[in-house]
Structure 1
Amino acid sequence: MNYSNQITKQFLYTICLFFIFIGAVNAQQNNGKIKGTITTSDGEPALGVNIILKNSKYGTVSNEDGSFEFNKVKPNTYTVQVSLTGYETLEQEVTVASNETTALSLQLKVSNKQLKEVIITNSRGKAFPKQSTYVSKMPLKNIENPQVYNVVSSELMKEQAITTYDDALKNVPGIQKLWESTGRGGDGGSYYTLRGFEVQANIVNGLPGLTNGSLDPANVERIEVIKGPSGTLFGSSLVSYGGLINTVTKKPYEGFGGEFSYTAGSFGLNRVTADVNTPLDDNNDILFRVNASYQTENSFQDAGFRTALFFAPSLSYKVNDKLSFLINTEFMQEEKTTPPMLFLGRESQLQYANLDELNYNTHLSFYSNDLTMKNPRFNLQAQMNYKISDQWTSQTTFSRGSSKSDGYYSYIYDNQNGTKEFGLSLTKEQSQTTTTDIQQNFVGDFKIGNMRNRLVAGLDYYAKEVMFGGSGYAWLYNVTAQGAVSYIDPETGIEASPRYPTRSSVDNVLAASGVTNYTSKEATYSAYASDVINITPSLLAMASLRVDYFDTEADVTTDKDDYDQTALSPKFGLLYQPIQDKLAVFANYMNGFRNISPAVTYDEVTEEPTGTKTFKPEHANQLEFGVKANLLADKLNATVSYYDIEVENLVTAALGSVVNTTQGGTARSKGFEFDLNAAPVKGLSIIAGYSYNDSKIVKGDAANSWLETGKRPFWAGPKNLVNLWAAYKFDEGFLENFGIGFGGNYASDNIILDSQVTGKFVLPEYTVINGSIFYSSAKFRAALNINNMANKDYFNGGWSTVNPQKPRNALLSFSYKF
């Protein structure tokens, strides 16, 4: 039985259990109904309010107009409990009779100023989260935080019919995909550029969440893109100098409910998702939620596919008012082919001046469906929260992850010999990356004199082990960008016998490539503290410091490459609110760093190892200032900022060498970002962003394609990026509950190579337009989304790669809430 059939059977079994469970629930004879509305103290509809019937299984959440309902409720007398952070909890007794509807009208009362730190809600029902406990590792309002971050909510992803994590990030200013997920060991996830530096999505709920494959949006509550070097709170192992991507997963909530959805689309896309939440006891102290998905999709090219099964159960347990536990798990089974990317040569003059000369036939994959990579992934996070006092809370977390790569990885690299051919090389690998992270945080909110202090102090232990096994790399054949195949070995000039992209043919070629087998280990021990001080109610200061001790064994079979080093990372911020909770002016200094493991040195002629070389930590320093606004009765949220980042001690390939590395380069990245979330009129929402990035190597070599002084780095991406999404939903009349959405992305020219060695190659600018029409009620949603409506040919890329993107594609989706 092949891998795909196993996944299909496992998923069908899960879905059958799901329907049996739902059918059992619906079969119960619950004859009454409760319908009601909830408003805030100022008379506005209250969205996202938790409503439960105490001591029962019934629970729901209010809609955009503040309405809610309970169907099939057993006749009885219940206590309705309504809760929303920032308001007093409301309770009211209600009697349910058979075959009757009981109507309620409830109004919440403000408990204190926490009201403004919860959410901004537009009239369509889209919520823009304004508070994150992950960005600063403490509860801190966005308008109080001198750091910039952007949020992509699950509601927005649903509206845009997002089926891939990569597409969700198109809603964030200043980030651009460089590489598709390759599946290879160690770093097989997608690569992006953020503020001019490469980054991967490898943090989940503020903890390590590495993957060699793709991430599934089914369990995503929101994505937080935290801008700037963030080594002070998040360390060196998982962040970029441009920022980090934190995936916040869905958590259990009080009451029973869920959603089931199906999406069909172009290129054979079929996607099914299920989300079920239920209490496991009468008091709603033990809550369980499971999110699952199954997706299969072909490539838009002549070969290629991806099949994935995802399952994410989570459990919360409230022991008492002081102690609670939360456990999140994720299981992913994924099989796919390697997405084709053409690597232009980095060691000699380019054979192509531009895309027209390359003449890339993007309908071709140069591959087959017989050569696949499997990327099973497991992630567990356990969290214990204990309220020590009214001022102090203890948070203990444990994270354990495993990500594997099992199969064939290929790359298509320019032969650089004047033939305008690319060599297709492959390896067969079986690798596993295992991570362990333990954190202990103490979070306080207290006063010293008249000054409020919000403090987090923590310890962090992070360990990573990489076990790699497999073949060496072997050349299979040559291809042109138009698909012509030849068998002349680019190294020897001798014509080989024909070979093909099949397992048997590739295995025969790899038999002579040798074997690679090693295990490496590293660990980081950290201590950090961050304090936000209200000097006055409107003036805040943030001071943070982290110390990291990095210990690596590198290759565990020898002590010669063992190494340890210590690094400090400070962070400071100032923020002033001219209008309390409405307008803030901020500035920050942030630091990030990267501990570099020793590298083996080689003889340039024989390429034999000659020893090892150690490096200082790379260091990034950022200065940033800007303005945050929360205006028009919470209907407009905007951030404008300017940043300047400088990274020193960069480690890159040595000049004129393909085997050795060197340290000493400096890169500088300056830029401007604008982010807007607005709901100007009832039914209309707008999300827009613009970013400009000016990146440059300020210290490098005169002729180094990786690090040439004065050139834009080939990982920096486009200088200008624009994102826009606007949606309007009709709330009355013939078109009630119908809506439309429209938007897209613009990217300016992307320089993927520019040096004296190679010349310059530019991927041209592009504009991609997307649209949707939808029907959305309290229980049911149907939508048609069309992406790349103009059928634009466009490319992403970085590090000299040319990466074709999807042509026009359509998705038809249906979902049902219960």
Structure 2
Amino acid sequence: MKHLIQILTVFLLSSAAFSQSGTITGKVVDNTQMPLFGVNISLKNTSKGTQSNENGFFEINNLQSGDYELILSYIGFKTKEIAVTISNNQPLKLDSIILFEGNEILEEVIIEGERRNKFSRKQTAYVSKLSLKDIENSQVYSTITNELLKSQIVTNFDDALKNATGVESLWASTGRGGDGAGYYALRGFSVQPQLVNGLPGLTNGTINPANIERIEVLKGPSATFFGNAVSSYGGLINVVTKKPYAGTGGELSFTSGSYGLNQIVGDFNTALNKNENLYFRFNTAYTTEQSFQDAGFRESFFVAPSLSYKVNNKLSFSFYGEITQATQTNPMFLFLNRSAPTEASNLEELGYNNKLSFTSNDLTLQNPTQNYRIEMDYKLSDSWQSQTLLSKSSTSTNGYYSYLFDFGILGGNTFTRYINKQNANTQTTDIQQNFIGDFKIASMRNRIVVGLDYFNETQVNNSTGYAFYGNITPNGGSNGDNPFTSNIENDTFPLSTSAVDAVLASQGVANVKSTYHIYSLYFSDVLNITDKFSAMLGLRLDHFNNDGNITNITDDFDQTTFSPKFGLVYQPIKDKLSLFGNYQNGFTNVAPQLVGNPADGPQTLQNFDPEQANQLEFGFKTNLFNNRLNATVSYYDIKVKDRVITDPASPFNKIQGGEIVSKGFEIEINANPFQGLNIRAGFSNNDSETTKSDNIQILNRRPLEAGPEILYNFWANYEFQKGALDGFGFGAGFNGASERFAINYLSTGEFILPSYTVVNTSVFYQGNKYSIGLKLNNVFNKEYYKGWTTINPQQPRALLANISYQF
């Protein structure tokens, strides 16, 4: 009996030991021993993964005995790989794991494990050129994650930006040379997307969302860190691309929808050499889409190769490329008269048939674009690292561009068409050298960046002149009477390449090459005076060298500018609630102008200081309920001064006395009340006015580039977590704006585009390795318009279907 009991005891203990599973626990900190919240932790070649909590702790359970490779990745920090062993299913406790700041290469994809608040990712290495949590950053910015874009089945950049609080499209991408990208209103000023991974990245067409990891919209003047070439007084738009990660996998996706939309997207990642930490990722997309109007289309092919090579724990390289070949018809906006009253003051009086495109699919533009970036990161010490960056961009326009303008001469709401043949190219080069430090002085933490920046932009224009090409009326009428000739003509103007080429044969061809250079030095220090109170001080020295038209030395000039930035952050509840205030600066270089009474002799060139924009802003940010509620509420006041105007004392003199004031408040909320439900909401109110000007036409009026006063957006997405409906989900939301001025001058009066609210819905199923979804945009088929001295009709109701497979 005694032997039987011993045998049973041994058997039960062995069974218990066999049934146990191992556990890995640990804590993740930075090099100052501050805990890191939200770090991705995964086991290589498994589906096991988790994230660190607000105290930096993590735990991975249910592990069998064996050897594993633990991968830790965090935005703004270098990925770390640790070899670990589970013996006899015993728990393994790791001491504090230190992550060092660096670039974002090798960010691991977590297959299993919950990441709360999928619509918010508030850690970035780009906004301040330092790795700062949003709650400790004095600047306001909106982040649009790829999870949010996937939940909305987004296929174009304009739809993606509808999720950014306070951003509204002014007009869509025209494809024309120089500035063919889309324009957007932000805090009362127009802006174009010109930044990719924190470096200049140009396009004359639309940006393909297939390679977007997230979009960062920085609010307010941002010249201190980024200069004035890629930012506006309202802020800037930075596109963060997908990057290689440690592992093998990918996704194939196909979307089809109304108006001839078909889009196929591929994403593949692999290790080219695991032993040498060489990883490759390739994204590609092919898209075709027609217009809801009687003509118009866009076709694009896009490839984005990227490569990351970690030589050792100190040195790493990365390469990113984006190559786009696009063909489209340019959208035909109705340009309203800017100097005389338009016969109609609203859409009803205009009698606009928005199904008419006033163009043909024979008249196309080609927009080939290339963006390349190379980055080298080197760890100098535990406190300092070096970051060397090079970016090259090239974007071209070839083909036919036309526009419709109301000269107010022929009457009957007649718009005159002008057309030319575009042949233009823009190239940029940017070189940056950053030294990034993180150290303590007298117990106070300093996070410092010191950088040198060289930027060059060169434009070549060999386009034809613009030729008269008939007239139209908004309801579809047409005639061939040239408003600038005395005779009444009745010519015909077919919308074909042969007919247009015949008319353009008499036009001259431009031969202009222009270039400018910017040399900059910048410095920023985020000083933690206490663990809850920090101050940020930044300064940029910017030297602008304009060569202008290289054959004309009279347009050359130089300017040097200082651009300061200052911010304060106080966290009453550490990492959960912060109060902030900031002062931010932007500037625009001003060319010399001729002054002096010609009757008294030759005029002379007068130099001016750069135009300045200064913002004061304050508000609060939250990160509550274990990252389930992120909110930002802020009030800003931007004053633009030193605009060059005519001297009231002399019509032959110029002074710097023009001013614009733009102020308002913004509210953005990202919430994950419970598992499966994610909410994104935003509201903004902007009050802009030209307060000082020599142009009585715009004085005390809202600038047209300011867009609507009120903007709002909302999107909620819910996925069932268990039961018979596990994997099924649905989404719903809306976007809206108050009415806006398309024209608002003293001489023209007002042309007002009405307010709108557009509702969108979706349903989907997420399987183990695949997903399917349906999206209905503009559910109630709302007819609405956008514009900036223009009338730009928006897409009616559209249905999209998507199927994706992950491997």
Relative to the length of structure 1, the TM-score reads 0.86
Does structure 1 conserve the Cα–Cα contact (< 8 Å) formed by 2:117 and 2:672?
Answer: no
Does structure 2 conserve the Cα–Cα contact (< 8 Å) formed by 1:784 and 1:811?
Answer: yes
- CA separation of 1:125/1:722 partners in 2, compared to 1, >3 Å: closer, same or farther? closer
Partner of 2:629: 636
Partner of 2:744: 754
Instruction: Give the distance between the partners of 1:514 and 1:695, measured in 2 at CA.
Output: 41
Q: Deviations over 1:672-724 (max 9, x none)?
A: 000100011221111000000000000113532xxx22100011000000010
- CA separation of 1:188/1:499 partners in 2, compared to 1, >3 Å: closer, same or farther? same
Is residue 590 from structure 1 mapped to residue 584 from structure 2 by the alignment?
Answer: yes
Give SS of 1:218's match.
helix
Does structure 2 conserve the Cα–Cα contact (< 8 Å) formed by 1:88 and 1:108?
Answer: no
Is residue 623 from structure 1 mapped to residue 616 from structure 2 by the alignment?
Answer: yes
Instruction: Give the distance between the partners of 2:497 and 2:647, measured in 1 at CA.
Output: 36
Partner of 2:555: 561
Letter in 2 for 1:616: D
Does structure 2 conserve the Cα–Cα contact (< 8 Å) formed by 1:313 and 1:329?
Answer: yes
Does structure 1 conserve the Cα–Cα contact (< 8 Å) formed by 2:22 and 2:86?
Answer: no
Letter in 2 for 1:137: K
Partner of 1:438: 431
Q: 1:143 aligned to 135, 139, 142, which one?
A: 135
Instruction: Give the distance between the partners of 2:479 and 2:608, measured in 1 at CA.
Output: 43
Partner of 1:204: 196
Shift in Å at residue 82 of structure 1? Answer: 4.0
Q: Deviations over 1:654-680 (max 9, x none)?
A: 99xxxx999642111000000100011
Instruction: Give the distance between the partners of 1:738 and 1:38, measured in 2 at CA.
Output: 32
Is residue 698 from structure 1 mapped to residue 691 from structure 2 by the alignment?
Answer: yes
Is residue 722 from structure 1 mapped to residue 712 from structure 2 by the alignment?
Answer: yes
Give SS of 1:715's match.
helix
Shift in Å at residue 503 of structure 1? Answer: 0.6
Instruction: Give the distance between the partners of 2:594 and 2:257, measured in 1 at CA.
Output: 48
Q: 1:479 aligned to 472, 477, 501, which one?
A: 472
Does structure 2 conserve the Cα–Cα contact (< 8 Å) formed by 1:59 and 1:257?
Answer: no
Is residue 152 from structure 1 mapped to residue 144 from structure 2 by the alignment?
Answer: yes
Shift in Å at residue 796 of structure 1? Answer: 0.8
Q: Deviations over 1:758-791 (max 9, x none)?
A: 0011111000000100011341110000000000
Partner of 1:530: 524
Shift in Å at residue 429 of structure 1? Answer: 1.3
- CA separation of 1:62/1:336 partners in 2, compared to 1, >3 Å: closer, same or farther? farther
- CA separation of 1:718/1:105 partners in 2, compared to 1, >3 Å: closer, same or farther? farther
Instruction: Give the distance between the partners of 1:577 and 1:652, measured in 2 at CA.
Output: 44
Q: CA RMSD in A?
A: 3.4
Give SS of 2:120's match.
strand
Partner of 1:765: 755
Q: 2:417 aligned to 424, 427, 431, which one?
A: 424
Q: Which segments of 5 or more consecutive residues in structure 2 lack a partner in the other structure?
A: 1-20, 29-36, 53-57
Partner of 1:9: none
Relative to the length of structure 2, the TM-score reads 0.87
- CA separation of 1:380/1:732 partners in 2, compared to 1, >3 Å: closer, same or farther? same
Give SS of 1:509's match.
helix
Shift in Å at residue 49 of structure 1? Answer: 3.7
Instruction: Give the distance between the partners of 1:385 and 1:113, measured in 2 at CA.
Output: 15
Shift in Å at residue 650 of structure 1? Answer: 3.3
Tell me whether 278-287 or 292-301 shows the greater mean CA deviation. Answer: 278-287
Partner of 1:362: 354
Give SS of 2:135's match.
helix
Give SS of 2:353's match.
coil
Shift in Å at residue 371 of structure 1? Answer: 0.5
Give SS of 1:504's match.
helix
Does structure 2 conserve the Cα–Cα contact (< 8 Å) formed by 1:599 and 1:614?
Answer: yes
Does structure 2 conserve the Cα–Cα contact (< 8 Å) formed by 1:532 and 1:543?
Answer: yes
Instruction: Give the distance between the partners of 1:520 and 1:215, measured in 2 at CA.
Output: 25
Shift in Å at residue 600 of structure 1? Answer: 9.1
Partner of 2:246: 254
Does structure 2 conserve the Cα–Cα contact (< 8 Å) formed by 1:38 and 1:62?
Answer: no
- CA separation of 1:669/1:460 partners in 2, compared to 1, >3 Å: closer, same or farther? same
Partner of 1:344: 336
Alignment of 1:270-289 (within 5 A): 270-283=262-275, 285-289=277-281
Alignment of 1:223-622 (within 5 A): 223-283=215-275, 285-417=277-409, 418-494=411-487, 495-597=489-591, 615-622=608-615
Partner of 1:10: none
Instruction: Give the distance between the partners of 1:754 and 1:653, measured in 2 at CA.
Output: 21
Q: Which segments of 5 or more consecutive residues in structure 1 lack a partner in the other structure?
A: 1-34, 70-75, 96-101
Shift in Å at residue 359 of structure 1? Answer: 1.6
Does structure 1 conserve the Cα–Cα contact (< 8 Å) formed by 2:119 and 2:144?
Answer: no
Alignment of 1:647-662 (within 5 A): 647-650=640-643
Does structure 1 conserve the Cα–Cα contact (< 8 Å) formed by 2:213 and 2:242?
Answer: yes
Does structure 1 conserve the Cα–Cα contact (< 8 Å) formed by 2:646 and 2:694?
Answer: no
Structure 1: 4+ residue segments shifted above 2 A: 35-42, 46-53, 58-69, 76-95, 102-115, 117-125, 596-604, 609-616, 649-655, 660-665, 701-704
- CA separation of 1:409/1:105 partners in 2, compared to 1, >3 Å: closer, same or farther? farther
- CA separation of 1:239/1:517 partners in 2, compared to 1, >3 Å: closer, same or farther? same
Pick the structure with greater CA Rg. Answer: 2
Letter in 2 for 1:590: Q
Instruction: Give the distance between the partners of 1:572 and 1:544, measured in 2 at CA.
Output: 6
Give SS of 2:348's match.
helix
Shift in Å at residue 283 of structure 1? Answer: 2.4
Letter in 1 for 2:42: I
Q: 1:804 aligned to 786, 793, 805, which one?
A: 793
